[in-house]
Amino acid sequence: MTQDTPEFWAQAAQQFQQAYGDSWLKLFQSFQGGHPGQGTAALPAMEHPVSIPPDKLQALQQQYVQDLAQLMQQGAGAAVTGDRRFAAPAWGENPLAAMAASTYLLNARLLMEMADAVQADAKTRARIRFGVEQWVAASAPSNYLAFNAEAQKKAIDSKGESIARGLQNMLHDLQQGHVSMTDESQFEVGRNVATSEGAVVYENELFQLIEYKPLTAQVYERPLLLVPPCINKYYILDLQPENSLIRYAVAQGHRTFVVSWRNPDESLAHTTWDDYIEDAVIQAIAVTCEISGAEQINALGFCVGGTLLGTALAVLAARGELPVHSLTLLTTFLDFSDTGILDVFIDENSVHLREQQMGQGGLMAGRDLSSTFSFLRPNDLVWNYVVGNYLKGETPPPFDLLYWNSDSTNLPGPFYAWYLRNTYLENNLVKPGKLTVCGEKVDLRKVDLPVYIYGSREDHIVPIPGAYASTQLLPGKKRFVMGASGHIAGVINPPEKKKRSHWIRADGKLPRTLDEWQQGAEEHAGSWWPDWAAWLEKQAGKKIAAPKKYGKGSKYKVIEAAPGRYVKQKA
């Protein structure tokens, strides 16, 4: 039997289908059985029956049979296009590999179309789609040496050296506890990331406060305090001098402070959301005011840091205190009505389980959080590196952002359990008086101050409608800007790179929905940072002489040079 005969290709397809067929068939049949997820580990268990309309299912089956027949007829001429996993020449040069890839893509398309055709409530549909996406991504023939023609060719060309390196890479990653996304040996915090000059001027068990050295002879009278997410290390805001938002703010003449969170260990296993608000965010605001001598400061919160900061300002407002003049929110949820793909993980049972596990004490491991976020984009952030590191024996190139992404942090269990229930599950922050934090009723309507709100258009962590929702929640004068790209790349977009773009409404109107806002928005090339800098300048007050020393007097002395000890603690 030769490669030119239909019988050869029919047998090749059959062999490939046998390798994957049982799993594909079970998943296919589960939709007809009404309860996807039973016996399928990739799919979350569903509370309600689901189904696909018979006529839709029949149409999908008929189209699949037609496409499969066409693929068989093409035989050796079957081309794999439109998927970078199979873009290497080796896939086209190996007929069996090309057939395997083409058949996989056909099966994957069928499953995704079936997932989209499911009749169920929105949350169930999202969970099914997420589960199918995970299974489809994991089952790609490119993920396995037995099917990956590119990896096989590399092994032959290198006389097995690539396989040996792959095994070494796998052992290294098993030892460190996560898949390497970059060459981590090329980076060191304080040496070539987090290098902006400054000093730690205050610390407690939750955070260190870093003050940065001015780069201008004069600074604005109102300092700037940055509150980064406690789920990650602060130096996403200070990766390299050329892409550091911290350095950019300092260069604009702002006396800049940043919260550097401690990486929790067992000594913080009982720390609560209230502790983070009172003893971290509110304390950081107070210390910044004392050191600078300013009655009010400007504050910026990024992601969960913005949620913490917004909560802290509501607590302070309830106490009749207004130490913050303006607020900047970067890719932040205050209203958790639309949390995007993360919603698939949240329901009463899952949150209750976390409360039972760690609500009274314990730690949420940083590696588990990091893994969850990576699997939101499995092909890009998981399987891409599995294939490169292990099957091809490659070392991923050095990339500061991915080094930061791999530098995970733990969270205290009680903090994490409270956060899940009161934000993602019940969305209590937007309900005036529903929550009591630090002894005060939380009402975000009392946080009346100028606000700059930024959201990223392709953000999968804080979807752009979720970021925009804050415009309808806070009462002060607001400015909303939408940037291109995702959760991190959209934020860390320095002007000098002249990359991406952003959108602004010239009339400043903030209609009820994001779609309405976009209808009047105009695209501008490049970074949104200069727009924010122009807005912040108006909030910063007059200029005064830059301080000659860090801290203030004997109360706030230099503890150590930036970036400090806390940021170097590993999970």
**Residue that terminates a domain, selected from 124, 159, 194:** 159
| 351 belongs to a structural domain | no
Task: Based on the fold, state whether residues 332 and 243 are members of the same structural domain.
Answer: yes
257 or 372, which is more confident:
257
| 44 has a pLDDT exceeding 50 | no
CATH of the domain at 479: 3.40.50.1820
| 22 has a pLDDT exceeding 80 | no
- Cα 378 to Cα 388: distance, rounded to the nearest angstrom: 14
- Give residue 82's pLDDT: 77
| 450 belongs to a structural domain | yes
**β-bridge pairing 207-212 and 256-261:** antiparallel
| 128 belongs to a structural domain | yes
301: which residues sit within 8 A by CB, 6+ positions away? 226, 227, 307, 308, 309, 310, 327, 328, 329, 330, 332
Task: Based on the fold, state whether residues 107 and 211 are members of the same structural domain.
Answer: no
- Cα 38 to Cα 53: distance, rounded to the nearest angstrom: 20
| 67 belongs to a structural domain | yes
| 185 belongs to a structural domain | no
Q: State the DSSP H helix or E strand holding residue 533, giving kind and residue range, or none if neither.
A: helix 529-539
Give me the sign of the Cα torsion angle 210, 211, 216, 220. Answer: positive
Q: 25 falls in which pLDDT band (50, 70, 90)?
A: very low
**Three-state SS at 470:** helix
- Give residue 177's pLDDT: 85
- Token pair recorded at residue 463: 């979807």
Domain that holds residue 264: 202-344+413-568
Neighbours of 493 (CB within 10 A): 23
Q: 43 falls in which pLDDT band (50, 70, 90)?
A: very low
- Give residue 367's pLDDT: 87
Q: 34 falls in which pLDDT band (50, 70, 90)?
A: very low
561: which residues sit within 8 A by CB, 6+ positions away? 198, 199, 200
| 166 belongs to a structural domain | no
Q: pTM of the predicted model, to two decimals?
A: 0.89
Task: Based on the fold, state whether residues 218 and 312 are members of the same structural domain.
Answer: yes
| 279 has a pLDDT exceeding 80 | yes
Task: Based on the fold, state whether residues 155 and 278 are members of the same structural domain.
Answer: no
Radius of gyration of the chain (CA): 26
Residue 449, judged by CB atoms within 10 A of its CB (0-12, 13-18, 19+), counts as buried
- Give residue 46's pLDDT: 53
Would you give the end-to-end CA distance of the chain in angstroms? 57
Task: Based on the fold, state whether residues 115 and 246 are members of the same structural domain.
Answer: no
> What backbone torsions phi and psi does residue 469 show, to the nearest 5 degrees?
-55, -25
Tokens 């081309």 — which residue? 79
Task: Based on the fold, state whether residues 434 and 509 are members of the same structural domain.
Answer: yes
Q: State the DSSP H helix or E strand holding residue 405, giving kind and residue range, or none if neither.
A: helix 400-406
- Give residue 5's pLDDT: 52
350 or 16, which is more confident:
350
Number of domains in the chain: 2
Task: Based on the fold, state whether residues 148 and 236 are members of the same structural domain.
Answer: no
Q: Which of 230, 289, 303, 438 is catalytic?
A: 303
pLDDT in tens, 390-399: 999 999 999 9
Tokens 């080094």 — which residue? 403
Q: 40 falls in which pLDDT band (50, 70, 90)?
A: very low
The angle formed by the CA atoms of residues 469, 471 and 476, to the nearest 5 degrees, is 150
For residue 503, the number of C-alpha atoms closer than 13 Å in the C-beta half-sphere is: 17
**Residue that terminates a domain, selected from 96, 131, 159:** 159
- Cα 364 to Cα 230: distance, rounded to the nearest angstrom: 12
Is 230 designated active site?
no
| 380 belongs to a structural domain | no
Give me the sign of the Cα torsion angle 266, 270, 276, 279. Answer: negative
- Give residue 47's pLDDT: 56
549: which residues sit within 8 A by CB, 6+ positions away? none
Task: Based on the fold, state whether residues 257 and 115 are members of the same structural domain.
Answer: no
- Cα 258 to Cα 166: distance, rounded to the nearest angstrom: 40
Question: Do the Cβ atoms of 103 and 18 come closer than 8 Å?
Answer: no
Task: Based on the fold, state whether residues 309 and 446 are members of the same structural domain.
Answer: yes
Task: Based on the fold, state whether residues 68 and 208 are members of the same structural domain.
Answer: no
Task: Based on the fold, state whether residues 430 and 556 are members of the same structural domain.
Answer: yes
| 275 has a pLDDT exceeding 70 | yes
**Residue that terminates a domain, selected from 133, 159, 185:** 159
- Token pair recorded at residue 302: 């990024």
pLDDT in tens, 442-490: 999 999 999 999 999 999 999 999 999 999 999 999 999 999 999 999 9
| 63 has a pLDDT exceeding 50 | yes
pLDDT in tens, 121-176: 888 999 999 999 999 999 999 999 999 999 999 999 999 999 999 999 999 999 98
Question: Do the Cβ atoms of 413 and 269 come closer than 8 Å?
Answer: yes
| 180 belongs to a structural domain | no
Q: 7 falls in which pLDDT band (50, 70, 90)?
A: low
**Three-state SS at 452:** strand
Task: Based on the fold, state whether residues 340 and 427 are members of the same structural domain.
Answer: yes
